[in-house]
Chains A and B, each alone.
Chain A
Amino acid sequence: MIARGTFRSAERRCRGCNGGRSRVPEGSCFDEMTLPDGAIRPAYGRIARWLASTPVDVLGSRCVQAELMFRRMGITFAVYGDKEAGERLIPFDIIPRMVLRSEWMRLEAGLVQRVKALNLFLADVYGDREILKAGRIPADLVLHNPQYRPEMAGQRVPHDIYVHIAGIDLVRTGEDDFYVLEDNVRTPSGVSYMLQNREVMMRLVPDLVAEHRVAPVENYPDALLASLRSAAPVPVGQEPTIVLLTPGRYNSAYYEHSFLADKLGVELVEGRDLLVEDDRVYMRTTEGKKRVDVVYRRIDDDFLDPETFRPDSILGVPGLMRAYHAGNVTLANAVGTGIADDKAIYTYMPEIVDFYLGERAILSNVPTWRCREPEALSYVQSHLGELVVKEVNGSGGYGMLVGPHASRAEIDLFAEKLRANPENFIAQPTLALSTTPTFVSAGIAPRHVDLRPFVLTGTNGIRVVPGGLTRVALKENSLVVNSSQGGGTKDTWIVEDRIFEESVAFQGQS
């Protein structure tokens, strides 16, 4: 992807939004580097200078270098339903996405608050169901939700922690406007890219990293280990044994599983490596059976235990749920967390935060129409061309309609689905997602981004490593950032506000 064009940083208007088919009004989306009047926002001061002083072909060769590094490291993912592709790289963009510390502090407080509320919500809906009794959420929306696990009702989990690892997807639409697009509290992935992107940046542009004094993310694995350790079942005599349970090397996120296990210093196990005896979990080792206390599982609930869930699962561990219910093992995340990141429940997050914490949610939800409500439905039906309509149980960008980018036929087809089963859908306005400068084949151009920070919960507290995974929609005008749909990633730099004041003082030195 070496650029041959001469498109330089000077021309960085909001092209991502005014291209032909999009109906978001021209110039209405927020570019994180360049304001409409051409001024550079403070966080990007040095980046703008770096881009202006680096020839496009140098940037291009850096990109090629980055790609080689990723390929050699074996950082690949498999795309479902695409056998030909085998192992693919997620495209990496070398222009970092900048966030000021002051902006981050607010996000962090909001993330901690949100995850705290999500854990309380889960303990409640699988426990006393106070929020349902209080009528704050329709009971049928929870109890009849396919994501609700009746097996977990009335069961306690160790320390009442359900969500040990959360990935919260945030989008920005303006100077002070951040929204939560969705919560991921089942088996969120992507953290390995957050870590490896930084490693690659430190090798490719060491000066740029150094002069920005970027907040480090490399302690994430340590923080994760501490959280997992703290979450071990209560009467663990000695150091708890932690394992990472993967579906195996054909899973799209296998690279991440092995990377994390390595960084954590824990065994990467598959279902066949574990066994359950007398309601205790063991792994098969060269020295015989060894007791396991905490399972950081990257397998979906459905495949976890063929005795309880899908009987045809060969990925799981027969009897694991027995051991879980007996309190002999911690599963991270807990079984049944899917109810908390369900898209229908998402719309109630402000109520959930208020109910459990008595606080106003710091992070806003994207305004959402619940199609189960007749008024909302009729609005959505008459505005399909402007809205993003999502299936409540869909993930990965499948099963959604992006109205402004859809053809007439696609819209008609979706309208049919919506009519047949309205409670299965929610709709949101097409958000004018912010753009950041991105290196594409034509040179440097603005592309839409989102941000997924990772939030860790243990008995030792709630922690967010400063940063996250920035995903970027590489196609012009595209709003879909999922890696399975042609999205790429960027390194995310949380930088001190102060540095930019200093830089003013030293201007003119070289």
Chain B
Amino acid sequence: MLSRTADHLYWLARYMERADFLARTVEATQRLAALPTNYSGSGTEWESALESSGAAEGFRATRGKIDEASVVEYLTFASDNPSSICNCIELARANGRAVRTALTVEMWDAINGAWIELKRFEDSNFGRGRFDREELSRFLEFVKKTSLDYDGSAHRTMLRNDAYWFSRLGLYIERADNTARILDVKYHVLLPVDETVGGSIDYFQWTSILRAVSALNAYHWVYRESVKPWLIADLLILKAEMPRSLIACYENIVHYLDSIAVAYSVSGPAQAQAHEVLARLERTTTQEIFKIGLHEFITEFVESTDLLGRAIQEQYLKY
């Protein structure tokens, strides 16, 4: 297939996944910030929402005080934030429109329908800076549903060929990156200092991490015990059955890269890099991760994923 087509499909998937992650982050942060101050700890929830969305720098350069309304605006509708939810959907559609022929009717319908809906939100006062929690929650629901629609239609209707594989690659690379980011921002509350089950003020921080990656219920099914920080790390890094864990993302990345390599009868640096990261994840344990330092581990992971992204770009998507 055309390198340009593959590139657009890859980025389309990334932006849709990113929009979903941002919506969940805003939602989880809102819950956390609504708690009485002695429950929520630091009072820097909105700051860390900016950090884990990679938007902190841009916010500081263009906005003033960090508060709920301004951060929400920046992460949802701000046109000057390249990674706001609006821009993600806008970019997803632009990528989709550039390769209409590579999308199924259902996928295009999901993306274009969402874009039309988005215009409606923008046209309402809500998109123009008026802060309204009810409208916001409707908007966040809409974003989550959009990514489900897109994802589901891609999964159900695309031919299983390289177009599908590149699209899935984009999704899992973005997802791995997002999970790693939230771990990186929140690593300090995940350190196993002392175990005060149920009573820790960090409890709500932990559950908000799980919420941001829609894993709160999954946690209970997997561990069948109360929320503990090292188990959260275990779940989000090493549990293959958890669809947003780093290892699950890499299993998928390796799978789709291998499918491409088989179809093209040639394997390259991208495959080598992905296999290496997966092997490392398979070898390691939570104990080891905490021994190295969670922060150090995640930093290294983010760098490896960045490297992989560049290898894929170089090997397949250049035009």
Chain A residues proximal to chain B, CB less than 8 Å? 71-72, 74, 248-249, 254-255, 258-259, 261-262, 267-270, 272-273, 283-287
Residue in B closest to A248 when the chains form the complex, CB atoms:
B98
Task: Identify A285's interface contact among B2, B98, B108, CB under 8 A.
Answer: B2
- The CB with the most chain B CB atoms within 10 A, among A74, A273, A283, is that of A74
Query: Nearest chain-B residue to A266 (Cβ)?
Result: B101
Residues of B within 8 A of A268 (CB): 99-101
Kindly name the residue among A248, A259, A284 whose own CB sees the greatest number of chain B CB atoms within 10 A. Answer: A284
B34 CB to nearest A CB, Å: 37
Residues of A near B97 (CB, < 8 A) are: 74, 249, 254, 258
Tell me the smallest distance from the CB of B286 to a CB of chain A, in Å.
38
Chain A residue nearest to B163 (CB atoms) is A286
B-chain residues with CB within 8 Å of residue A258 when the two chains form the complex: 97, 99-101
Q: Is the CB of B264 within 8 A of A286?
A: yes
Q: Is the CB of B101 within 8 A of A286?
A: no
Which residue of A has the minimal Cβ distance to B97? A249
> Could you pull out 10 A-B pairs where Cβ atoms are within 8 angstroms?
A74-B97, A74-B100, A249-B97, A249-B98, A258-B99, A268-B100, A270-B4, A272-B319, A284-B4, A286-B162
Which chain B positions have C-beta within 8 A of A71?
Answer: 116
Min CB distance, B155 to chain A, in Å? 20
Q: What CA separation (Å) do A74 and B318 show in the bound complex?
A: 28
Docked pose: A269 CA to B4 CA in angstroms: 9
Q: Is the CB of A72 within 8 A of B2?
A: no
Hey, which chain A residues are within 8 Å of B264, CB to CB? 286-287
Query: What sequence of 0s and 1s flags, for each residue 93-111 of chain B, a beta carbon within 8 Å of any chain A beta carbon?
Result: 0100111110000001100
Shortest C-beta distance, B57 to chain A (Å), equals 31
Tell me whether B166 and A286 are in contact (CB under 8 A): yes
* B1 & A285 in contact (Cβ 8 Å cutoff): yes
Residue of A nearest to B100 (CB): A258
Residues of A within 8 A of B317 (CB): 286
Could you tell me if B116 and A273 are in contact, using CB atoms closer than 8 angstroms?
A: no
State whether B2 touches A283 (Cβ < 8 A). yes
Interface residues of B (CB under 8 A from A): 1-6, 94, 97-101, 108-109, 112-113, 116, 162, 166, 260, 264, 316-319
Q: Quick one: given A72-B109, A74-B112, are A262 and B101 in contact (CB under 8 Å)?
A: yes
Known: A258-B99, A285-B1, A287-B264. 11 other contacts (CB 8 A): A258-B97, A267-B2, A267-B5, A268-B99, A269-B2, A273-B2, A284-B3, A284-B318, A285-B3, A286-B166, A286-B264
Nearest residue, chain A, Cβ from B98: A249
Chain A residue contacts of B109, Cβ below 8 A: 72
Closest 6 CB pairs of A and B: A258-B100, A262-B101, A286-B316, A261-B101, A284-B3, A268-B101
- On chain B, the residues within 8 Å of A273 by CB distance are 2-4, 319
Contact of B100 with A262 in the complex, beta carbons under 8 Å: yes
Interfacial chain B residues near A270, Cβ < 8 Å: 4
Kindly list chain A residues whose C-beta atoms are within 8 Å of the C-beta of B6.
286
Min CB–CB distance B248 → chain A (angstroms)? 25
Whole-angstrom distance between the Cβ of B2 and the nearest chain A Cβ: 5
Cα A249 to Cα B101 in complex, Å, equals 12
CA of A287 to CA of B3, assembled, Å:
8
Cβ distance A179 to chain B, nearest Cβ, rounded Å: 37
Cβ–Cβ < 8 Å partners of A272 in chain B: 4, 319
Look across to chain B and name the residue whose beta carbon is closest to the beta carbon of A290: B2
Using Cβ atoms and an 8 Å threshold, which residues of chain B touch A261?
101
When distances are taken between beta carbons in the complex, the residues of chain A under 8 Å from B5 are 267
The reply to whether A284 and B319 contact each other, CB–CB distance below 8 Å, is: yes
A102 to chain B, nearest CB (A): 37
B1 close to A286 (CB less than 8 A):
yes
Nearest residue (CB) in A for B4 is A273
Would you call A72 and B1 a contact (CB within 8 A)? no
Closest to B265 in A: A287
CA distance A273 to B98 in the complex (A): 13
Q: Which of B3, B116, B318 has the most CB of A within 10 A?
A: B3
What residue in chain A is nearest B162 (Cβ atoms)? A286
- Taking the closest CB of chain A, its distance from the CB of B168, in whole angstroms, is 14
What's the nearest-Cβ distance from chain B to residue A271, in Å?
11
- Closest CB-CB distance, B114 to chain A, in whole Å? 11
Nearest chain B residue, comparing its CB with the CB of A74: B112
Q: Which one of B1, B4, B101, B166 has the greatest number of beta carbons of chain A within 10 Å?
A: B101
Inter-chain contact B112/A72, CB cutoff 8 Å: yes
Task: Check A284/B2 contact, CB under 8 A, given A74-B100, A258-B100, A268-B101.
Answer: yes
List residues of chain A with CB within 8 A of the CB of B318. 284
Q: Which residues of B contact A287 (CB under 8 A)?
A: 264
Q: Which residues of A contact B116 (CB under 8 A)?
A: 71-72
Complex Cα distance A366/B212, Å? 69
In angstroms, Cα B100 to Cα A254, docked, is 10
Q: How far is the CA of A254 from the CA of B316 in the complex (A)?
A: 25
- A259 contact from B2, B98, B100, Cβ within 8 A: B100
- B260 / chain A contacts, CB cutoff of 8 Å: 286
